[in-house]
Structure 1
Amino acid sequence: MALDHTRDFFAATPFDPMDLAQTSPGWYWTRWITNLCAPTFVLLAGVSAFLRQQKAGVADNSRYLLGRGAMLVVLECTWISFSWQFGYNVLILQVIWALGMGMIFLSALIWLPRTLVAVIAAALILPHNLLDALHGPTSGILFKAWHQGGFLPLGEGFGAAFAYPLMPWVGLMAAGYAMGPVFLWQAEKRQRFLWISVAALLLVFVGLRFGNIYGDPDAWSEQAKGGVYSFLSFMRVHKYPPSLLYLCSTLGISLAILAVLDKYVKQRVPVLSLFGRAPLFFYCVHIALIHALAWVYMGWRYDYHPSFVGRGQKLPDGYEPTLLACYTAWAVIIAIMFVLTTAWTRWRDARAAAITSPAPAAGSV
């Protein structure tokens, strides 16, 4: 995730890294690998909601999801949208918006039997590419927010960009909730289920994708540049909105990684466990940090100040995006975020301990 956002600011390209006519395998995979993030976040948010409910109960969990979801939507529309632009011309509705709305949606669904939640999740995910044929420039706000995505003007010099339309994302969070009991099983049984899911997802992906049958609005094709680019075409699936094949391919890989970690990693990995304890802090800080450092660096070197908004903007004379700059900046960002997140979690833990510690008895020293 941070790699992709670093690329946006430190290594903006005059072409789409997924455009096979202009990209290279290095740029392509640097962009593609980050596709794993959002589906994993959303699915595991649903799993976490189920696990929380085992202790909190349905009523408390519903209130929590409703409040937490509303907070995330407000956060996306304020600080996070500002962090991308260092201005306020566009509401950029991305993964935090999708997570927030998914929680609001799930706060109602959890009152239903879990089997019915699974059916609703499947109904939102499996057939949603049938709506692709309805996309058009005259679509209204509800359809853009629900399925099509895109930019919607809301006034002179202001608008909303629905980067993450909701239909498949809220369905995916509901699927994570329905999947929740798996994470209460014995390790061997859980891992077996995960590997079966991986095999099923990847088989569906390959089967549907190979024949361009269903599940993605963009067909793949053999490329004149050779087999490597043909494979890139095969793997280039639609993220905005996430197609069925996008979800199958990314979740197939993510669940495989999860199964491996579950079986073989018996001790905490410091960086992963640290960031995993404070994901919202990481997200809220890292975008503004990347933007600020890129603003200083690009301003010093090229007299140019990058912004996430306005992909059609003219890049400065003499500027050439390089993967070396992208990965170097990314490593620096991760190091800074490690320090900041360490400080944040220590302060948070100390504050929580102070709140929960019993007050000393009167007269005691």
Structure 2
Amino acid sequence: MVRDEARLASIDAVRGVVMVVMALDHVRDFFHIGAMSAQPEDLATTTPLLFFTRWITHVCAPAFVFLAGVAAERRLRRDGSTARLSRYLWTRGLWLVVIEITVMRFAFNFRFHTQDLLMLLVLSALGLSMVILAALVYLPAPFVGALGLAVLVLHNLLDPIQARDLGLLAPAWIVLHEPGVFTMAGLPVLAGYPVLPWAGLMAVGFAAGGIFDLPPAKRRRVLAWTGTALVVAFVAMRLMNQYGDPSPWASQSSAVMTVLSFLRTTKYPPSLIFVLMTLGPVLLALAWFERQTPDRSDPLVVIGRVPLFYYVGHFLLAHITASLVVWWQYGDFALAFLSGPFPSMGGSRAAFPTDFGHPLWVTYVAWAGVVAVMYPLCRWYGRQTRQGDRGWRRYL
């Protein structure tokens, strides 16, 4: 008998894993001294532990976007109305963008200032991809999947096109494919997650939703074999060092650093090889949790059922915690620089003390604390939302 649940626990559990891992990178942004002046994947300055602290979190955005596509297909399967699904997708998508430019802007900076970057990040990528999917759902699912796959496979052919050569169309190209900064209504806007490849990945997720109608044993096999195939394809294409990523790997001073170079693929925008590297493990994790059959009380399921609440909440908590630590460390002097965004959030490095930030182990301790606090909050919020999927609750 095919299981036909409103929510599949394996999806929620994988989403929960992703949410927990994601918090590590965001806590690092607020705590780690290296985050204030350097990139963790810069081979000239990084260490293996710092590199993998960042690298393991790369799985998060592809998982969110792919599973959002799967969730859209499951909603259509339950409700049966394409028009209602389309309306839900474009309204929720725009709502996510609004949250990004209001609530998340405050969570990043603790202020609203015209000089601060207006950052369009993962929520905007999700939201705009949902708006695009709202139009695509009227097409047959296999066609939607084929279109999304074509975008993922071919979009790196567009890499030579540069926004600086497009004149008035430059902002549109930055939002679509080339990450960068442009000015809108006098505000500096950072489009960090160009939407074109993310929309393609969501379309693939929508087409893949039918996998979850298969009998459990067959579903596990399909997920496991597909995930394995993607990982093998990643290794093969990366070894060839030709098409699929604008940043080729190269031999380094040691075998370890060469491995890091091999794994340092392009996320902004997500290259084909980056998607293979990250989506394969997501499918393998889905197959594993299908076998484990976690129940509703599992902490990962609890967190995975309320992803937007967790996302907003953990950012606020990480920023508040980091600010309190800074105040404890620097006293009233902290008020001179805590009124603006951290350097890792676009603030001026010169405005902060030279020793600002903490060792990596402090990041891990703070990460554990943030997740520990967010779990009971997610459990409470999940109980509130189980009162029904009606009205405004659908958007939270």
Tell me the TM-score normalised to structure 2 length.
Answer: 0.84
Mapping of residues 1-365 of structure 1, within 5 Å: 1-13=22-34, 14-57=37-80, 58-88=82-112, 89-139=116-166, 140-154=170-184, 156=186, 158-224=187-253, 226-268=254-296, 270-302=298-330, 303=334, 305=338, 307=342, 308-310=344-346, 313-314=349-350, 315-319=352-356, 321-349=358-386, 352=388
Deviation at 1:342, TM superposition (A): 2.3
Q: Are the equivalent residues in 1 in contact too, given 2:294–2:301 (CA < 8 A)?
A: no
SS of the residue corresponding to residue 112 of structure 1 reads: coil
Deviation at 1:51, TM superposition (A): 0.6
In structure 1, the residue matched to 2:13 is: none
Deviation at 1:137, TM superposition (A): 3.9
SS of the residue corresponding to residue 247 of structure 2 reads: coil
Mark the CA change 1:337 to 1:74 in structure 2 (over 3 Å): closer, same or farther.
same
Deviation at 1:210, TM superposition (A): 0.7
Q: Which amino acid aligns with 1:313?
A: R
Q: Are the equivalent residues in 1 in contact too, given 2:296–2:302 (CA < 8 A)?
A: no
Q: Which amino acid aligns with 2:72?
A: A
CA distance in 2 between counterparts of 1:268 and 1:323 reads 34
Mark the CA change 1:255 to 1:298 in structure 2 (over 3 Å): closer, same or farther.
same
CA distance in 2 between counterparts of 1:261 and 1:268 reads 13
Deviation at 1:109, TM superposition (A): 0.6
Deviation at 1:311, TM superposition (A): 6.2
Deviation at 1:119, TM superposition (A): 1.8
Mark the CA change 1:320 to 1:162 in structure 2 (over 3 Å): closer, same or farther.
closer
CA distance in 2 between counterparts of 1:332 and 1:142 reads 40
CA distance in 1 between counterparts of 2:364 and 2:232 reads 33
CA distance in 2 between counterparts of 1:268 and 1:310 reads 39
Deviation at 1:121, TM superposition (A): 0.5
1:165-191 Cα distance to aligned partner (Å, 9 max, x none): 011000000000011100110111111
CA distance in 1 between counterparts of 2:308 and 2:277 reads 26
Q: Which amino acid aligns with 2:213?
A: L
CA distance in 1 between counterparts of 2:197 and 2:216 reads 29
CA distance in 1 between counterparts of 2:195 and 2:232 reads 26
In structure 2, the residue matched to 1:358 is: none
1:284-333 Cα distance to aligned partner (Å, 9 max, x none): 11111211111121232143536243266145234463121000000110
Deviation at 1:155, TM superposition (A): 5.4
SS of the residue corresponding to residue 153 of structure 1 reads: strand
Q: Are the equivalent residues in 1 in contact too, given 2:75–2:85 (CA < 8 A)?
A: yes
Q: Which amino acid aligns with 2:363?
A: C
State the percentage of identical aligned residues.
39
Q: Which amino acid aligns with 1:333?
A: V
SS of the residue corresponding to residue 160 of structure 1 reads: strand
SS of the residue corresponding to residue 257 of structure 2 reads: helix
CA distance in 1 between counterparts of 2:33 and 2:246 reads 26
1:109-164 Cα distance to aligned partner (Å, 9 max, x none): 110111211121122111111111113545511100000011112355x2111010
Q: Are the equivalent residues in 2 in contact too, given 1:10–1:298 (CA < 8 A)?
A: no
Segments of structure 1 that go 5 or more residues without pairing to the other structure are 356-365
1:242-272 Cα distance to aligned partner (Å, 9 max, x none): 1111100001111111111111344456221
CA distance in 2 between counterparts of 1:12 and 1:38 reads 24
Q: Which amino acid aligns with 2:108?
A: W
CA distance in 2 between counterparts of 1:18 and 1:329 reads 21
Q: Which amino acid aligns with 1:343?
A: W
Q: Are the equivalent residues in 1 in contact too, given 2:63–2:279 (CA < 8 A)?
A: yes
Larger RCO: Structure 1 or Structure 2 (Cα < 8 Å, ≥ 6 residues apart)? Answer: 2
Tell me the TM-score normalised to structure 1 length.
Answer: 0.91
1:58-111 Cα distance to aligned partner (Å, 9 max, x none): 121111111111111111111112211122322211111111111111111110
Aligned residues: 352
Deviation at 1:227, TM superposition (A): 0.8
Q: Are the equivalent residues in 2 in contact too, given 1:73–1:101 (CA < 8 A)?
A: yes
Q: Are the equivalent residues in 2 in contact too, given 1:50–1:177 (CA < 8 A)?
A: yes
Q: Which amino acid aligns with 1:83?
A: A
SS of the residue corresponding to residue 38 of structure 2 reads: coil
Q: Which amino acid aligns with 2:188?
A: G
Q: Which amino acid aligns with 1:234?
A: F
Q: CA RMSD in A?
A: 2.0
Q: Which amino acid aligns with 1:177?
A: F
